[in-house]
Amino acid sequence: MKTKFRPHSRLIRLENQAGRFVIHGMGRWYHHWRDPYHLLLTVPWLGFVAIVSLTYLLLNTLFALAYLAGGDCLEGARAGSFSDAFFFSVQTLASIGYGAIHPKTFYANSIVTVESIASLLLIAVLTGLAFARFSRPIAKVLFSNFIIITTHNSQPTLMFRVANERHNFILEAHAQIYLIIDEVTDEGEFMRRIHELKLLRQRTPSLVLTWTLMHPIDADSPLYGLDAQDLQRLDANISVLISGVDETVAYTITARHVYATQEILFDRSFENIIHKSDNGDRYFDYSLFHQVRPSSTIVEQK
């Protein structure tokens, strides 16, 4: 069964923050116009096509105005017609050249020369950007909706699940998790501190289906002695980073996820997603991937 994913908002909101143009929405992508290369790589495809289309129309508009500034310089075009000049610019920029309209003055030929150079640069840049977007490795790693803290082998343990949505091999998969909390130093200064949490197994030879990661909460753990109210007071977040090599494309891929305080559940257990059929075969029910149930044991920290 297919796993249901949490939907993302498809609304786009534009905001000016201290002189910076920020775009929100479409998977929470955003960037500043000061770094257009990064913006064009990270914006969703709909935004990328929109930006390219607007740029193309604006460029042709500028060249159309340049042709109109030269007076009657285009043979076959109506004098002073913006539409004729605009579509002649489109034909020139795209190297179509129907021939119905052509330059007849030195000024018009000069503008055509400049536009031809701009066309070469534009095509080269867009080809490079499109290739970079297609070739950029993207991890399809699914994280459980919740982190649970329950008893495992008679010890309080933090647990969560990850799954490889592509069902191919992620080789030498490596996991790192960090606890991020508010702390006050001995001098009374507030700071946001990051603590690395040690895992029972930090690396797996291959991530194909699912992987349950566990952090034992012992006396050395930053979570030792903390309950749900403490985590809320400390505004705790847990950041997860998964990396490995995608066997299909031989690229190193990374995936990250952040759990908020309300997504850390105490005294819960994950529903079992591995089932055994009568003939001895095992199968995975991903419809239960995010499901939790009350734990049969109570977490105690001594």
Q: Where are the domains of the chain?
A: 44-135, 141-294
Which is more confident, 136 or 195?
195
pLDDT of residue 23 exceeding 60:
no
Number of H helices, E strands in the chain: 5, 18
* pLDDT of 185 strictly over 90: no
Band (pLDDT 50/70/90 cuts) for residue 42 is confident
Q: How confident is the model at residue 86 (pLDDT cuts 50, 70, 90)?
A: very high
What local confidence, expressed as pLDDT, does residue 10 receive? 46
Element (H, E) at 68: helix 45-69
Q: What is the pLDDT of residues 219-247, one digit of tens each?
A: 999 999 888 999 999 999 999 999 999 88
Report the CATH superfamily, name and number, of domain 141-294.
G protein-activated inward rectifier potassium channel 1 (2.60.40.1400)
Confidence of residue 13 (pLDDT cuts 50, 70, 90): low
**pLDDT at residue 297, rounded to an integer:** 54
Residue 31: pLDDT band with limits 50, 70, 90: very low
Q: CA 70, 76, 78: angle at the middle one, nearest 5?
A: 65
DSSP characters over 231-284? HHHTT-EEEEEEEEEETTTTEEEEEEEEE-GGGEEESEEEPP-EEE-TTS-EEE
User: Which of 23-37, 107-121, 253-267 shows the lowest mean pLDDT across its residues?
Assistant: 23-37
Indicate the SS3 state at residue 7. Answer: coil
Q: What is the pLDDT of residue 120?
A: 93
Q: Which two structure tokens, joined as six digits, stand for 208? A: 């194909």
Domain 44-135 indexed as CATH 1.10.287.70:
yes
